Structure 1
Amino acid sequence: MSNDVKIGLVGFGMRARSLTKVAHRPGLGAVVSDVFDIDQDAARNAGQELGFPVTAHATLEALLAADIDAVLIVTPDHLHVEHSIAALRAGLAVYLEKPMAISAEQCDQILDEARRSRGRLYLGHNMRHMPFVRAMKEIIDSGAIGEPKVAWCRHFVGHGGDYYFRDWHADRRFSSGLLFQKGAHDIDILHWLMGSYSSRVAAMGQLMVYGDNPRRSVEDVETPWRLDDNPLSAWPPAALRELNPVVDVEDSSMVIMTLDNGTMASYQQCHFSPDYWRSYTIIGTEGRIENIGDVEEGTVINVWNKRHYGYEPADLVVPVHPEPGGHGGADARIMDEFLGFARSGGPVETSPIAARYAVAAAEAATQSLRSGGEPRQVPPARQEDVSYFAD
């Protein structure tokens, strides 16, 4: 008899397809057996697209009542609170894709339900499993740069228009803003590397490029570019077609954060950059580190921890090698960890409390940038929730 964890998919979009590639491993630990999506055609066609049989359900309630052990919740962000609470109440192990929700209040509702139901809640912050991030964490923890004091992340979202301005992400009613959808990743990593959460933030941001693009539909052009075409052919950003009818989120944002432990960090995000990667710099009392590249072969971590005049090559260069499984191997690693957590619980690298603070900081920063850069306090998590997940 197989001991595979039986998994149900809640939502069958792009991210669900990626996770299914590493989650479905019949006879080797897990099987994706059931799916629910509000698009019934998508749910019915899931098995054919995935290449193995799944049972499609017409309602979330029907899926949660099926013979499954765990769910992967990969629905649009504004639905996370409803879907995760229902799954926790059903007694299932829950993999909740980041961002946790679109407000700190919604995150607290999810955390409270997990605590009350003694639920197994796991957050899909897969960047904690990216080889380059783990290498940076190991270097910092080794003391190679002394005590970390300041950090920044520059996020060049080269395909931002393709991925985030063609669908619900571009509408703040459903995403709140792209500091949640994309920024939650990096804010969480900045918190993790610096060993503390944001307590106060200030931000500036604008809708600079995609807001005044008049070509929102294919009727106005003879040969519209589509997402399944070569993305490199759509340049400059104004060449994009078929944008979402509503575009009211910022395509460029800059955030300054003061953390609880007195350190500082900044996050800069641009969705019309020609390149697509993240650059982290951490400066400590005895040196600094910086990554060049992130999930591709050739990525390195540069370490400077000797005194220099002007620019000189790094004192130490640490090569980082991506692994199979998507996002440099992070998708496979995070699914391995979740499946072990679904079976028996135990310590994990991701954290529901940390995921909540990433959203809370993103929310405060979004409020700041929409009010002229006014600094905002980040509301702390409830102590009873912190204690539950610490245990």
Structure 2
Amino acid sequence: MSERKASIMTIRFGIIGAGVIADVRMAPAIREAAGAELVAVHARNPEKARSFAARHGARRWYSEAQALLDDREVDAVYIATPPSQHAEETEAAAQAGKHVLCEKPMAIALEECDRMIAACRRADVRLGLCFMLRFHPVHRRMRDLVTEGFLGQPKMAEARLVFELPDKSPTAFRLQPALGGGGAVMDVGVHGVDILRFMLGRDVEAVSAFSDHDPSVFPSDDTTVMALCFDGDLPASVGVSFGVPFAERSNVELYGSAGSLFSVDTLGQESEGRFIAISAAGRREEAPPVYNQYVALVDEFVAAVREGREPVPGGADGRAAQAVALAAYESIHTGTVVSLR
């Protein structure tokens, strides 16, 4: 990293793609995070870009992404466009010397993930992924307990993300596989895969998946269960749906020989929550102190840029989740177990 970049105390962000998550979650998080500043915004619609910038205190707005990347006062970009654009925009950002914090899913193909990682490595810029659920206070505490051996020998793990997609308009990128890469598996299944990888400290070796969808609304999967085999033959599952209107549970469940851990409605955008721990010592509930998981994500990315190290989660984590999602689609279409070894 250049001395100029290493000496920057405040990391100045630009946002490429002024969508809902950028507006409601990430722009406020960048403004709140210590050592970060939002200075520029891009949206293809000039009025949308202008109003977004005004709403979040950004000094400049652009209707062309390259114009934002050419802005010398931007040190890093948060990319929040449809996944089909992530690879091209990440490569352009890296070429412009900008660090990249990319929304999930990382891309729509593994080859694109590899290109993104290689481009950032060549340019000596950092590449982070927006798996904010790693920073939920409940998930951090559960991961710590797993690391400390609370589970004993892990026996089984589950993650469920079940809800109703609020925007079902035909123009929504989540309903256009060419833009989003798929359906529920690609959009939220990667979150479930990543949170289990994070908590267990293991990688997925094999995938089998079963899916259903309402073709009148969803051109791709809206409800899928992925059966996963992690390192050490640990069985796990990730269940996802954005077609269930009355869902009440989006949880992580971890089972072991000495104890079990269950989160309660923590797989979502809010940072509040609690978990249940059961062992020979009895049953207890914990509600860790609340902090904003999106702010914590930005804090980690800023620290990585300052320290010249890879962010966690980074490009390798995005690629790993992508590989599982694509294997799930292969399994759905072929009816086979897909090996990732």
Q: TM-score, normalised by structure 2?
A: 0.88
- Cα RMSD after superposing both structures: 2.3
Q: How does 1:318-333 map to 2 (within 5 A)?
A: 318-321=285-288, 323-324=290-291, 329-333=292-296
CA distance in 1 between partners of 2:169 and 2:157 (Å): 29
3-state SS of paired residue (1:24): helix
3-state SS of paired residue (1:61): helix
Residues 299 and 320 in structure 1, CA contact (< 8 A), matched pair in contact too: yes
CA distance in 1 between partners of 2:159 and 2:277 (Å): 16
CA apart distance, 1:36: 1.7
Residues 46 and 54 in structure 1, CA contact (< 8 A), matched pair in contact too: no
Distance 1:263 1:251, change over 3 A: same
Q: How does 1:1-391 map to 2 (within 5 A)?
A: 3-17=9-23, 18-25=25-32, 29-50=35-56, 52-67=57-72, 68-157=74-163, 159-160=164-165, 162-163=166-167, 167-177=172-182, 178-208=184-214, 211-212=215-216, 247-271=218-242, 272-294=244-266, 299-306=273-280, 315-321=282-288, 323-324=290-291, 329-346=292-309, 348-371=311-334, 373-378=335-340
CA apart distance, 1:330: 0.3
CA apart distance, 1:340: 1.9
CA distance in 2 between partners of 1:303 and 1:66 (Å): 50
* Structure 1 residue ranges without an equivalent (≥5): 214-246, 307-313, 381-391
3-state SS of paired residue (1:49): helix
Identity of aligned residues (%): 24
Distance 1:264 1:42, change over 3 A: same
Deviations 1:31-86 (A, max 9, x none): 21112222233113222333x24312232221111021111111111111111111
Q: Partner letter of residue 59 of structure 1?
A: E
Distance 1:9 1:299, change over 3 A: closer
3-state SS of paired residue (1:274): coil
Number of corresponding residues:
327
Q: Partner letter of residue 30 of structure 2?
A: A
Residues 41 and 53 in structure 2, CA contact (< 8 A), matched pair in contact too: no
The structure number with the bigger radius of gyration is 1
* Structure 2 residue ranges without an equivalent (≥5): 1-7
Q: Partner letter of residue 337 of structure 2?
A: P
CA apart distance, 1:248: 0.4
**Runs of 4+ residues over 6 Å off in structure 1:** 295-298
Deviations 1:235-287 (A, max 9, x none): xxxxxxxxxxxx30211101111123321211111221413542211112322
Q: TM-score, normalised by structure 1?
A: 0.77
More deviation, 283-292/7-16: 283-292
3-state SS of paired residue (1:200): strand
